[in-house]
Structure 1
Amino acid sequence: MTELRIVRSRRKTLALQVLPTGEIVARAPLRLPERDIHAFAEQHAAWLEAAVARARAGSRAAQQAGILSEAELQRLRTAARADLTERVTRLAARMGVDFAGITIRAQRTRWGSCSARGSLSFNCLLMLAPPEVREYVAVHELCHRKQMNHSAAFWREVALWLPDYAAQRAWLREHGPALLGRLPET
């Protein structure tokens, strides 16, 4: 298995993350023994290998497509603000939820997020994805207004509003690393 970088914090759970570069990060509670972290990673070796392969393929695809310039990122931010504001406003009314506002960023690891106060944040790189993928991410974040977790109830809510969400999720899993790899180094 590839080298594992361990990041400790006051969290209560252990999580594995594969960055767009292919680096594996274990996010662990402060006092969890290192042997338990490595054992957890070994239990998930098949998933990690597949995720690293996807990230590396995405990195190669991103290199071929090229790093986005600041002007291109600004155009994506502007387009995302218009598209996602309209999309989220329409969907929120249909779903019977509200939201506090929308922020557009160029994020390295997230497509969207929803704060406890209802602020939604979206990645401008979504504008490089098909419209149905943007629809899925908008529905996903709005469903967090009802369920602030990723429980079975949350996924039932997503499926209620977007029955084919799994296809959009799969598209992001397959093509997302290539999009994220187009961000310039900071």
Structure 2
Amino acid sequence: MSIQVADDKKIIIKVPLGTPTFLAENFIREKKDWITKQLEKVEKQSELADSMGPLTDEDIRQIKKKARVVIPQRVEYYAKLAGISYNKIFIRLQKSRWGSCSVDGNLNFNCLLVLMPPEILDSVVVHELCHRRHMNHSKEFYDEVLRIFPDYKRCNKWLKQNGGVYFKRIEK
């Protein structure tokens, strides 16, 4: 069973087919505090995004322009540092992910990363580059990430706590 709190504050409960209702209800009751915290987080992110204002089409053009320069530089730096090769780099405006790595070695990054502190961008770059060696999220993968970027856990936590604000600015 799993629970997800969406950005629109909808609570999504997933249970295996045939699960008795009382078990699902008990699960929800057990997760009440977690649900409340998630709802508060979504509310705070919405308030912060509102205070920052929505990104206009022109803002997004400028962000993409900057990202096409900055992100490849950071990828090249960490690829050389770690001895990792890659194929192509794609920069897009995405509404739900910061980066990805394809089996062909293509790296995809969200242009909004350039709005964040530089170390957050770097942590995503290293994460995606490490998928060139480990196409999973195994212990070996994270050991590799931490070897290259020791501050990864702090940056990843920051991204989880604050990243939603950036997504909300493009939803307006």
Same fold (TM over 0.5): yes
- Alignment equivalent of 2:43, drawn from 56, 73, 81: 56
Residues of 2 paired with 1:177 and 1:64: CA distance? 14
Matched, 1:22 2:18: no
Residues of 1 paired with 2:167 and 2:131: CA distance? 23
- Identity over aligned pairs, percent: 35
The Cα offsets for residues 76-95 of structure 1, whole Å up to 9 and x where unpaired, read as 11111111101001111221
CA RMSD of aligned residues (A): 2.4
Matched, 1:136 2:123: yes
Matched, 1:97 2:76: no
Matched, 1:160 2:153: no
Gap change, CA 1:74 and 1:39, over 3 Å in 2: farther
Gap change, CA 1:62 and 1:86, over 3 Å in 2: same
* Equivalent residues, number: 170
Higher-strand-fraction structure:
1
Higher-helix-fraction structure:
2
One-letter amino acid of the structure 1 residue matched with residue 112 of structure 2? L
Moved more, 14-23 or 79-88: 14-23
Alignment partner, residue 137 of structure 2: 150
Residues of 2 paired with 1:41 and 1:108: CA distance? 28
CA contact (8 A) 1:20 1:58 kept: no
Taking structure 2 as the reference length, what is the TM-score of the superposition?
0.85
5+ residue gaps, structure 2, are none
Moved more, 106-115 or 66-75: 106-115
Residues of 1 paired with 2:100 and 2:2: CA distance? 18
5+ residue gaps, structure 1, are 1-13
Residues of 2 paired with 1:106 and 1:159: CA distance? 27
Matched, 1:175 2:162: yes
- Alignment equivalent of 2:55, drawn from 68, 80, 90: 68
What secondary structure sits across from 1:182 in the alignment? helix
Gap change, CA 1:23 and 1:107, over 3 Å in 2: farther
Taking structure 1 as the reference length, what is the TM-score of the superposition?
0.79
The Cα offsets for residues 34-60 of structure 1, whole Å up to 9 and x where unpaired, read as 658777666655444333322221111
CA contact (8 A) 1:22 1:53 kept: no
Matched, 1:85 2:72: yes
One-letter amino acid of the structure 1 residue matched with residue 110 of structure 2? N
Gap change, CA 1:19 and 1:115, over 3 Å in 2: farther
What secondary structure sits across from 1:181 in the alignment? helix
Alignment partner, residue 4 of structure 1: none
